[in-house]
Amino acid sequence: MSKNTEVLIVGAGPSGLMAAIELRRRGIDCRLIDKKDAPTQTSNAVAVHARSLEMWDNQGIINKVKGKAQRIEGLEIFSQSMKRLASMAFVKHLKSTYPCAWDIPQNQSEAVLIERLGELGLQVERSTELVSAKIHDDGVSCEIKTAGAETTIVECHYVIASDGFHSTLRNMLKVEYEGKDLKQEFIMIDTPLNYPVDLHKIAIFFHPEGLSGVFPMKESARIIVEVANDKSYNRENGVTRETFIEVLKRRWSFDFQLGEARWMSHFFIHERLAKHYQSGRVFLVGDAAHAHSPAGGQGMNTGMQDAYNLGWKLAAVIKGELKDCVLDTYEPERRPVAQNVLKQSTAMTVAAAVKNPLLISLRNFFVRHVASRRVFQKNFANFIGELSYHYRQSPLSLGDKHINLRPGDRSPIIHHSEHFVLYVPENWAKKAEIEALIKPHTSWIELCLATAEQAKQLALKHGFCLVRPDMYIACQGCCTKELAQWLDAWVK
């Protein structure tokens, strides 16, 4: 038995759900399967950063999440003696509609994504796993198995592997998953917390026995504690609420109260990066493509943005709007992002976990005297918020390079369309000329007469700015020649 679809998505975590939403909002037929019999039931990844919030706004998801999330406005770092080493306010440094992070348990954010997907006419097929996949020149034949049912052959044009760290598809394709495991060992608890630090800020505490961190949520807080060098901790005894109370009493000099545990876990840090994100008609997203330290809380965000990048490209190719070669831009745009996240999150984890007294002194000096500087804080906040990433080197980016805004940069404007948006000044002399140029493509390019504020944000004076569906600048210029070149290069 076979059932055809345009795209088969394997794995219904946040990245897979995002990929399905991006395809369905553009009318693409797809199927989303997951071998688990139910959605995520625990809090797992909690941080949703500024760029992901902009993405959710574009997708019409943001208001569904807002009441469930804790707004995180900054970061505090403390020494062993509880002296504040650094304090950072995100709102001062993030030029975004969302100059903050939102902390929300993954089971709740997934529920919102599943609800949105249902509105778009698609349900997750549970207890269904991929058995095999054969890639052909014109498609992929996938054998899937649903619990209690016969094996089914799915014929599709493309497959998205969002099936996690132990990706079946990545292993089938023999794509190398390069990296190592860090030596740090952590325990984690989600619990209501009463303590003397602002619950709208992340708090990091340095200690010779290991760092600890608090990540507040709406009704509880995520507490992560490093225990690799804690002689009193015994993994054989398991992790209980009392374990955390005992460890934290030795490390925190202030009074605190923990409520009942909502979730507890124990983990090591895995660092991996897939050598390739694409193998023919199969694409890797999320943890199937990269895994790294939770420092900065960027794993889920990076994975969702993989899907956000890939989804519109697949849709445009399937609908015959853009050439097939647009899919070849996915890996060179997204892999460097994960590569940088890996590099920076590893550096943060290693620095926070140093045990040598001299290195501790050097680290604390750096945090106190360098991390407090405005330039450092701006760069750090934009890295964490994932606003600093760009696709300037992508072949999809073409046109004039303004001083502050270049092709490939993130658009400062959040639009609410699934299409390309072409911004032009209302009184631009060449408006009629550019309207004629895009007339054959108005089904997927929307012309927008920029307001004075939008023109200022996009540095529009006497030109245009073409913004991609994922809100990055594709092309900009002062005459229609640049846009004509872009269309000639990419339009089918």
pLDDT tens column, 293-330? 877 788 999 999 999 999 999 999 999 999 999 999 99
Question: Which residues 6+ apart lie within 8 Å of 444 measured at CB?
Answer: 316, 319, 321, 419, 420
Closest CA relative to residue 409, chosen from 452, 442, 457: 457
Handedness of CA 278, 283, 286, 291 (dihedral sign): negative
For 356-389, what is each residue's pLDDT tens digit? 888 888 888 888 888 889 999 999 999 999 999 9
For residue 234, what pLDDT is reported? 80
Asked if 226 contacts 295 with a C-beta cutoff of 8 angstroms, the reply is: no
Domains of the chain are: 2-69+104-178+271-339 (3.50.50.60), 398-490 (3.40.30.120)
The single-letter DSSP state of residue 302 is H
The percentage of the chain sitting over the pLDDT mark of 90, rounded to a whole number, equals 80
For residue 427, what pLDDT is reported? 85
Binned at pLDDT 50, 70 and 90, residue 1 comes out as very low
Asked if 147 contacts 37 with a C-beta cutoff of 8 angstroms, the reply is: yes
Residues forming beta bridges with residue 214, ordered by sequence position: 203, 223
Binned at pLDDT 50, 70 and 90, residue 45 comes out as very high
Q: Roughly how many angstroms between the first and final C-alpha of the chain, as a whole number?
A: 34
